[in-house]
Structure 1
Amino acid sequence: MALVFMLALSIDPSTPGKGGFGIYVVLSAYLVGAAVMIMIAWRSWWWEFRLAPWVHAIDTFAFVLAVYFSEAGKADFNSPFMALTAFLLISATLRWGWFAVAWTSVTLVTVNVIIGAGLFAFGLPIDPYRYGRRLMYLGVLSLMMVWLSGEQRGPRSAPMPRTPGTPGERRNAILVDTLTFARVALQARGAAIAVPHGEEPWTELLRDSGYAVIVDRLGPEALDGSFGEPDRAALIDLARGRRITSRASSYPLALSGPINAPLAEHCGINEAMIVTFETAAGPGQLLIWGIPDMCVDDLPLVETIGRHLSTELDREDLAELAQAASAAALRDALARDLHDSVAQFLAGTLFRLEALSRWIREGHDPTAEINDLKTALRREQGELRAMIQRLRRGEEGDRRTDLVEEMETLLGEMSQHWHIAVRLDAQVRPMPVSIGLAHELRQVLREAVANAARHGCCREVVVSVSTGGPGLTLRIADDGEGFPADSPPPRPRSISERVEALGGTLSICHNHPGALLEIALPNRIA
């Protein structure tokens, strides 16, 4: 802009204003200084950042003097006043935001007022109309720029990559995609990510040099030192001990002195951009080097990449934990189902086979008992197939069934299988419940009746089910041997786990004779 200003003055046929030909000297000196500053800023991001406020101050006073000394007479529309003022305010907006715009505006108004007052005090020629109009324009333009710069929502950044795949199984893919994105977005020669590996003591190191991503594992001593404050990007120069660090609600901070950057030292990089990010497993760091024209304007994008990494890795850890918890719950449910159905059925079948052996030795016809065993085996095979189908297609929680009918069918089978009397007392018929709840209660009944027959040696079991009040209540009473009087009744593990999973309560007490189990389930389950 100074060059254009000087060319405009040189081709203007009118005589230069108050400064005469001295204005050319001022502008020439300014052009030389500007050229030197461009070379410095081009070669060093450090000096470009440190000298920016001083250069802005020089621009302000140089343009004010140039405007004043170049004006001739009343050539108001030939004055570069508005163009140079807009340049200074836009420059402050892009560099520092609304606070710098406000300071630049105050400085321009103050300098113009001082010059105008000085001209008036010494009786020098001044046009009050034009002078007042310029101050008014300057004030309005300053207010507009302060408002516009204050409305900025932050720097724009490229959209972060979205890694496809199943959540919980994408950790390495996320690291590779983000590493490649950072290198390509900043046109860098290379990038590296160091992240902790869960509960293991080592650190995973991924390096992307543009040809391939190399993955390595480092011991706990390889990256000796702190990664620094999370979510804060920085430009670093290890050799010169220089760094510029971003801050949450302020302009970046330039610091000199020794730099603790273990990842950069391990990779043998002297000048780069780094950002530390937090994960559930511990802090990690992203290092990017070989960035052309690297400057503080790149800090927001690097911070965004760091936050993206932190969020995505935490989501993966949560998904992985959820998968592990789901798998553990499935294993526990499968173990309970196998115990309460297959294991108890096989135990009952073993008792019946022993009884059948005695029956045969006594000379009786075993055909009827063998047919009953065959029927029971087919029925248990059907139960196993139904359980396999539920595992394949998932729980059908939206379907409902009549709990009383399900229990009557099951208790009839249990009575025939264990050769005991089993009776159901239901106050409400029908009693619709979800498929999942019906399955759980069927398994509870299987386990309870089998325990009463095997361990309590009972002759009869009475099952009662009712709804109302707090929810669904299931009572299972037998007339067997019960529990020893001098010790508390033991809690069957399988039944306890099922009731707890349903959010209910289990009470076990003596029945005189026998034992009594009472299960209460809340309304939201029943």
Structure 2
Amino acid sequence: MDGGRLFSVRGERIIALGRAILAAFLCLSLVVGHVADDAIVRGLIVGYLAYSLLMLAGTRSRLFVYGVLRRPWLTSGLDFAVFTVLLFLTNGAESPFFSPFIFMILSGTLQWGSRGAVVMGGLTLTAFVATSLGSFQSQIFVLRIGYTMVITIMMAAFGGHLERVVQELSRLSDPIGPDAEDGEAPLADALRHALRVFGARRGMALLESEEPYAQLLLLGDGELESRRLPPTADGWVLGEAADGVFLYEAGAGATLVRSGRWTYVGAAQPLAPALREAASFQRVLAIPARSQGLSAWLFVLDHHEPANEDLAIGEMVGAQASMALERWEAQREQQAAAAVEDRIRLARDLHDGVLQFLAGAGLQLDALDRMPDLPDAVRGRLATLRQAIVEEQRELRGFISAMRPTDGAGRAATGSLKGELDALAERLSRYWSIEVSADADPFDTAAPEPLLYDLRWIVREAVANAVRHGQADRVRIEARANGRMLDLTIQDNGRGFTRNPTEPPRSLHERARALGGRLDVQNDPGGCRLVVHTPLDLAS
């Protein structure tokens, strides 16, 4: 049996109990009242009592419930027929048996929601008017018409509200997936999920982190915008509102907060000015989402017909978003652990393979150098090769050391930027037989060893490209530190990139992005100029 029918069966059990109580009081009215001694009226009420008791007893039988009460329109039709006949037999507008029709409107709302309330209200008005011909001027007639309309409107609104809550609850089953494309926290997906649940079109999401700046996402009509907000002294959500889900009406300056099982009135201005200025809104439903390492807020803007139940549903959405953040963090930790294992394996393979091969090659060169009658030019070339192998071994050992994980006991070691660039320039000059010079400003600038390692490879590849592809014979390397940023400029006098003048090798771009920076290139027939912009303390 599906959920809709199951809900109807549960509602029908309540209706059966109400029907039996109503029939009992109708019979009691025959005893204490002055109803006309019409045998048909008495027999109809007594028969209706027997019918209602039979239906009430039937609700205890599973076979009866699943077989008969799955068609509640049958019992509602019989109720309507009995009440209409009673109304007709007892003077229409003046009849004391008008109240059973209110029972019909209530039961219709339980069974079919807002549509049931409207249909039963319409049937009640039709039956009342049809049985009250000639009594339209009666005060009781006018009051009962108004009473029926009020009950119908209120129950239709109540049924519609229940339907909306059920729809919101059903949309909670939609999953929240991580933003796999860019590897960032699933904040945008969580915001879309919240808007989908509450049927809203606009929203904001705020992600707080250990950095001074917070990330703000604004979503409206399918367009996503990202901003960075400077830190605030008092936080983004103020007062008691920071403890749970809250609904804020900007126009009225009213805030309703739900924390745990309690709902109470919060501060008149629960949001920081920067958040209120980020987007225009009349009301906002704020939902916290937290994990072990992240703290976020989802803001649903101007959703229709806010109600207290939205706070409870907001807690469910917040729990889902929190689980998505925790799942994303766990995946990141697993990926990091897998990457560490891969780096350890690669470092071991390089040490046992390539590094040992270079050591063997150096021994072979030493053996050649000991051979008699070698020309001086050959011995000079052997010395150059032996020195190159020694330097490559040193670079490879540094690479292996950088790949192995540290114990995290402190900050990474630092080295002199100018000293590193001078040594690299001297080595590249000897290796490529060109003029390579280097400078750093300020001259005493220190940089973390992981950053120096990456900069060495960027310079080496840039110089190699300048010689091999640009036919350069002079390269200038300049490093300029400006606060927390570093600009590394590599200028040559070659003919530039000939195959694609506007795009240097992809590996240079990838290394610059890996450092959290970017690479700018200026290329012309008179030479190529590469500028790497990177944080100076990124790896520290």
Which TM-score applies when normalising by structure 2? 0.44
Higher relative contact order (CA 8 A, sep 6+): 1
